[in-house]
Amino acid sequence: MADALAPNPHYRYEPKQVDAIVIRPFDFDFPDDLDPVWAPGARVRSLMFNGFSLTMPYLEPYLIKSMQAASLHIKEPRLLEDIRAFNGQEARHYQCHRRLNELIKKNGYPELAEVEARLAKSYERLLRKPLETQLAYNAGFETMTNGFTRWFINRRRALWGGNCPWVSSFWVMHMVEETEHKTVAFDTYMAYSGRYLPRAIGVFHGSFHVLGYGLIAMVAALKKDGLWPRPRTLWEIVREVGSLLWNVGPYLLRGLLPSHNPRCDEDPEWQKAWIAGYKTLPPNTPVPLLDTRDPDIPVPFTTKT
């Protein structure tokens, strides 16, 4: 459904921080016997991130359809090119999440298929909402991923140290690409509508919809393990969700400012070094694994920060 005032006549494209949004061979060769509890000693955290992973093959195809619908209303060629690259990255992300999710179900949690059925219906409903609502949701979700990137990079030793290198690398690299394309959903909303209130609502809608389904999936997995609702499990959930909100919440609050623009946030140095290092490799080099045994989990290239 198109909105009467779209596209926004006041919209002007502004330069991004990154030179380009690169569509890489984003593919991680997860072992067939992958343990769904891939963070030893942190079952709740593993199952929480598995829950978030479960949402992605529903969220990201929806994002692509919604952004494609918006591109029919947009004339700015640089934004159209950004949308094309955004969709290329998101398509690779969800294909990889789908493979991970199949292994998580096969290796312990087939019950998660019930949550997937609910996710499929929920995103079908969202695609029937006005395009302005969809684009505000998209911009809101992408505001949250910017916070996730900083959390994942700045706290990488605590979150990923010693954990399964495939799953850890996958999550960190997914968020690095999220931040590489952090301007696109916001710009698309601004080019289409630009109205403040729907965008502010979208910050909550896009973030808590995904987080909520992720936590529903986590609880389903904990029930399967017979650990729900034990006091110790509840305490661990409070710690893990509290850490998430502490690290990501400020980015949601900043997203609510009327002057918010994701290009004003400087990208983390680790991320800039990774992007610069990858650029020196031959074209189409697969995204490499991170060394989660190294206490610093360094950028996996020789380029210095």
**Contact set with Fe ion (CB under 5 A):** 90, 93, 178
Asked, as a colleague might, if the bond just before 229 is cis with ω within 30 of 0, I would say yes
Q: What is the largest CA-CA distance in the chain?
A: 56
CB 98, min distance to Fe ion, A: 12
Nearest residue to Fe ion, scored by beta-carbon proximity: 93
The smaller minimum CB distance to Fe ion, of residues 133 and 188, is found at 188
CB 15, min distance to Fe ion, A: 19
CB 286, min distance to Fe ion, A: 17
The smaller minimum CB distance to Fe ion, of residues 45 and 181, is found at 181
- Joined together, the tokens standing for residue 34 give 């992958």
The smaller minimum CB distance to Fe ion, of residues 87 and 193, is found at 87
CB 295, min distance to Fe ion, A: 28
> d(Cα 249, Cα 253) in Å, to the nearest integer?
6
Helices (H), the chain: 43-71, 77-106, 112-127, 131-154, 156-160, 165-180, 184-192, 196-224, 231-255, 269-279
> d(Cα 299, Cα 174) in Å, to the nearest integer?
15
Q: Do the Cβ atoms of 59 and 210 come closer than 8 Å?
A: yes
The smaller minimum CB distance to Fe ion, of residues 109 and 171, is found at 171
CB 230, min distance to Fe ion, A: 33
The smaller minimum CB distance to Fe ion, of residues 93 and 156, is found at 93
